């Protein structure tokens, strides 16, 4: 239940940030699907901290090793297991944290849940590092989807309150690729410049910032998803909240819709080239939990990185007394930009799973 999601396509993530290795088992991939390792690596590299001052100075190579599930570069029907070695472990950076839970981190909740057995070094299993194997699973899902005309892309919709342009009504695969190729995944490069300044400013202030990621999927058939609790929104949200630091998920206008009138929020239907379309897409491509055939659009809110260099108030667990904590080590002043491919990965895996349920309930 805990580190897995999916129904016919099961994605099971394992590993701790400062253990020997992290990885993923993906069970239920269709057989015979080519996995383009270079394309996958380019996808993984998008979440990797580079030499950029915007991210942690830790170096992670993030090259997955496939233990099973691939034969001659193609999926073979058996569960795929990919492992990524943890080369650059500095668990000493976290020495002394065991007794002082970091505010905003899962240190305290892990301790409350598991007591002394919890691995608090580097956030253990809660670390953002675990999103690397998620990207392996999702990167493969993206390749399979693309072969069937379903494209998933994302951009940074906001950082520190600075907004990017939203996706156009009909984003294209070419647009997704263009953003993916950029060092900073925004539509409006001027906005991106301001975001980067805000990140650096926070970093210089030993602080951090959060952001919002907007993700879209095109090419989905109308009619995907089940009523009520088996809807596209339910399943995407259930998985997206598994990405560390995500605190909100919305579809289409989302929270903004709550402030609109029905006459503003309803998307008028129209016939276009013999197909039913909507003239706007405030529903984010989903009505009643089921796809409309318009682009699926969602947004995920990423909180500011809780690891900051400023002194913070916390408690000493062993003594049950208030204390101060200064976190040293190499931290991301912002993880939202690195989380962009992670949101794509999770969305792709969920959508592939739902498409695999196949035939929309008939056979």
Which residues, numbered 96-155, are part of the site for its own copies (CB under 8 A)? Answer: 101, 103-106, 108-110, 112-119, 124-126, 130, 148
- Please list every residue from 167 through 206 that binds its own copies, using CB under 8 A: 202, 205
By CB under 8 A, name the one of 41, 93, 173, 293 that touches its own copies. 293
CA distance linking residue 165 with residue 157, whole number of Å: 7
Question: Is 178 or 234 the residue whose CB approaches its own copies more closely?
Answer: 234
Dihedral sign, Cα of residue 61, residue 65, residue 69, residue 71 = positive
Closest distance to its own copies from the beta carbon of 331 (Å): 9
CA distance linking residue 1 with residue 239, whole number of Å: 12
User: How many other CB atoms sit within 10 Å of the CB of residue 188?
Assistant: 15
Question: Is 133 or 139 the residue whose CB approaches its own copies more closely?
Answer: 133
CA distance linking residue 305 with residue 346, whole number of Å: 20
Closest distance to its own copies from the beta carbon of 334 (Å): 9
Question: Is 42 or 66 the residue whose CB approaches its own copies more closely?
Answer: 66
Token pair, residue 55, equals 């991210």
Dihedral sign, Cα of residue 279, residue 344, residue 156, residue 149 = negative
By CB under 8 A, name the one of 216, 283, 342, 343 that touches its own copies. 283
Does 63 help bind its own copies (rule: CB under 8 A)?
no
Question: Is 13 or 42 the residue whose CB approaches its own copies more closely?
Answer: 13
Closest distance to its own copies from the beta carbon of 176 (Å): 21
Residues whose CB falls within 8 Å of the CB of residue 308, separated by 6 or more in sequence, listed in order: 206, 207, 208, 327, 331
By CB under 8 A, name the one of 336, 340, 343, 345 that touches its own copies. 336
- Please list every residue from 14 through 33 that binds its own copies, using CB under 8 A: 14-16, 19-23, 25, 27-28, 30-32
CA distance linking residue 13 with residue 4, whole number of Å: 6
**Number of chain residues interacting with its own copies (CB under 8 A):** 157
Does 318 help bind its own copies (rule: CB under 8 A)?
no
DSSP state of 69: S
By CB under 8 A, name the one of 302, 343, 345, 348 that touches its own copies. 302
By CB under 8 A, name the one of 37, 45, 79, 99 that touches its own copies. 79
Closest distance to its own copies from the beta carbon of 10 (Å): 6
Piece of 51-59, 165-173, 184-192, 285-293 that binds its own copies (CB under 8 A) = 285-293
Residues 283, 287, 293, 296: what is their CA dihedral angle, to the nearest 10 degrees? 50
202 vs 17, 53, 58, 109, CA distance in Å?
25, 12, 19, 27
DSSP secondary structure string, 8-65?
Answer: SSEEEEEE-TTSSEEEEEEE-PPTT-B--HHHHHHHHHHHS--S-TTS-S-------E
Does 38 help bind its own copies (rule: CB under 8 A)?
no
Closest distance to its own copies from the beta carbon of 324 (Å): 10
Closest distance to its own copies from the beta carbon of 175 (Å): 23
User: How many other CB atoms sit within 10 Å of the CB of residue 14?
Assistant: 17
By CB under 8 A, name the one of 94, 292, 295, 343 that touches its own copies. 292
- 139: nearest Cα among 297, 14, 26, 301: 26
- Please list every residue from 219 through 278 that binds its own copies, using CB under 8 A: 221-231, 233-235, 237-239, 241-242, 244, 246-255, 257-271, 274, 276, 278
């Amino acid at each position: 239940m805990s580190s897995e999601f999916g129904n016919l396509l099961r994605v099971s993530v394992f590993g701790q940030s400062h253990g020997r290795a992290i990885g993923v088992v993906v069970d239920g991939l269709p057989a015979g699907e080519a996995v383009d390792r270079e394309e996958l690596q380019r996808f993984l590299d998008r979440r990797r901290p580079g030499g950029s001052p915007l991210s942690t100075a830790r170096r992670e190579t993030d090259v997955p090793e496939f233990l099973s599930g691939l034969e001659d570069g193609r999926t073979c029907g058996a569960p795929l297991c990919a492992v990524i070695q943890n080369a650059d472990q500095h668990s000493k950076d976290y020495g002394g944290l065991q007794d002082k839970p970091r505010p905003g981190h899962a240190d305290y909740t892990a301790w409350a849940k598991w007591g002394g057995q919890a691995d608090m070094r580097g956030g253990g299993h809660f670390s953002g590092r675990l999103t690397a194997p998620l990207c392996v699973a999702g990167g493969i899902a993206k390749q399979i989807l693309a072969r069937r005309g379903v494209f998933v892309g994302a951009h940074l919709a906001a950082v520190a309150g600075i907004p990017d342009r939203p996706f156009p009504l009909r984003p294209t695969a070419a647009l997704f690729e263009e953003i993916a190729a950029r060092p900073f995944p925004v539509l409006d490069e001027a906005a991106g410049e301001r975001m980067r300044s805000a990140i650096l400013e926070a970093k210089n202030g030993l602080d951090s910032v959060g952001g919002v990621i907007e993700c879209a999927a095109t090419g989905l058939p109308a009619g995907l998803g089940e009523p009520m609790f088996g809807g596209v929104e339910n399943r995407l949200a259930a998985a997206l909240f598994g990405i560390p630091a995500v605190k909100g998920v919305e579809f289409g206008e989302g929270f903004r819709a709550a402030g609109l009138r029905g006459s503003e929020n309803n998307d008028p239907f129209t016939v276009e080239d013999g197909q039913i379309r909507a003239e706007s897409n405030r529903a984010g491509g989903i009505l009643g939990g089921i796809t409309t055939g318009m682009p699926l659009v969602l947004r995920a809110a990423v909180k500011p990185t809780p690891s900051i260099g400023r002194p913070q108030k916390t408690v000493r667990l062993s003594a049950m007394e208030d204390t101060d904590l200064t976190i040293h080590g190499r931290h991301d002043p912002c993880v939202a930009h690195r989380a962009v491919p992670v949101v794509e990965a999770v969305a792709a895996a969920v959508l592939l799973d739902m498409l695999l349920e196949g035939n929309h309930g008939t056979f």
